Amino acid sequence: MTDLNHPVALVTGSALRLGKQMIIRLHQQGYRVLIHYRRSAAAAEQLAAQLNQLRANSAATLCANLTDDAAIAPLAQQAIACFGRLDLLVNNASSFYPTPLANAQLDDWQELFGSNVKAPYFLSKALSAELTKRQGCIINMVDIHADKPLAEHSIYCMAKAALQMMTKALARELAPAVRVNGIAPGAILWPSQPLDDADKDMVLQQVPLARLGEANDIANTLLFLAQAPYITGQIVAVDGGRSLGGANKA
């Protein structure tokens, strides 16, 4: 397969953490990759440079603030223009922070719903014609807390619940040309906000496999869904069994 025939993937929020690992895994499988970032320009450019050293002209970066309504259409246009096609959209970019009800503000609602629901929806809309043309797919990063709320994170959890429903709704609306699935991570990477050892132990006690997951667990699930032609409208929990409920007996 020549470079021009290699599929192209756009992963939003992919300069760091889980997004970065998804980019690396897709690139290893022959994808040309588009690394989207909002603020992490240096990390995005460094990742693209590393991947282009491995395979020339196989990675590029795109900057956009996904909570800016006016940024979505240009991002979609740039994504298609970069390599002349798009086969896979991964809606990974997400804001995450607590919003206790007493302190919640409209700005929190706009940020959390904007990054977790509105941007994925309208980016999917903007790219739907290209993905239909390529018989491509969309994969949304949901969360196990879309079903079981996380304390003091009500707005975030509501946003992820909406993203989960969006995944199922678009799977029906865009079928049969475009498949739409979701991944619901559990405890994979500790959040950017520091957790003390007691909080980490409490989380791991809720995981039947009794350990933190790895970024590659998400990346491998992404690759599986991208290559599974008869799966659509599904949310795959990658959480070591945490969503089963109850405490680990070990």
The enclosing domain of 110 has a CATH number of: 3.40.50.720
Choose among 121, 234, 80: nearest CA to 172. 234
pLDDT digits (tens, 9 = 90+) for 219-244: 999 999 999 999 999 999 998 888 88
Q: Report if residue 26 sits inside a domain.
A: yes
| Residue whose pair of structure tokens reads 């992490």 in the numeric block | 40
Q: Report if residue 250 sits inside a domain.
A: no
Q: Report if residue 44 sits inside a domain.
A: yes
Query: What is this structure's pTM?
Result: 0.93
Q: Report if residue 39 sits inside a domain.
A: yes
- 166-169 contact pairs (CB < 8 A, 24+): 166/117, 166/120, 166/121, 166/140, 167/138, 167/140, 167/142, 167/233, 167/235, 168/233, 168/235
Task: Assess whether 230 carries a catalytic annotation.
Answer: no
Number of domains forming the structure of the chain: 1
Q: Report if residue 131 sits inside a domain.
A: yes
Consecutive H or E run containing 94: none
Torsion angle defined by CA atoms of residues 100, 101, 107 and 111, in that order, rounded to the nearest 10 degrees: 60
Separation of alpha carbons 221 and 56, rounded Å: 26
* Element counts in the chain: helices (H) and strands (E): 8, 7
| Structural domain of 145 | 3-244
**With pLDDT > 90 as the criterion, what percentage of the chain qualifies?**
82
pLDDT above 70: residue 74: yes
Predicted confidence at residue 209, as pLDDT, reads: 85
Specify which residues 129 forms β-bridges with: none
Predicted confidence at residue 250, as pLDDT, reads: 43
Q: Report if residue 249 sits inside a domain.
A: no
Alpha-carbon 96 to chain mean position: 13
Across the range 87-116, mean pLDDT stands at 97
Separation of alpha carbons 3 and 22, rounded Å: 20
Tokens representing 158 are 């509501």
Q: Report if residue 45 sits inside a domain.
A: yes
φ, ψ dihedrals at 45, nearest 5°: -65, -35
φ, ψ dihedrals at 239, nearest 5°: -145, 15
Catalytic residue chosen out of the listed positions 31, 37, 97, 156: 156
Predicted confidence at residue 193, as pLDDT, reads: 64
Q: Report if residue 212 sits inside a domain.
A: yes
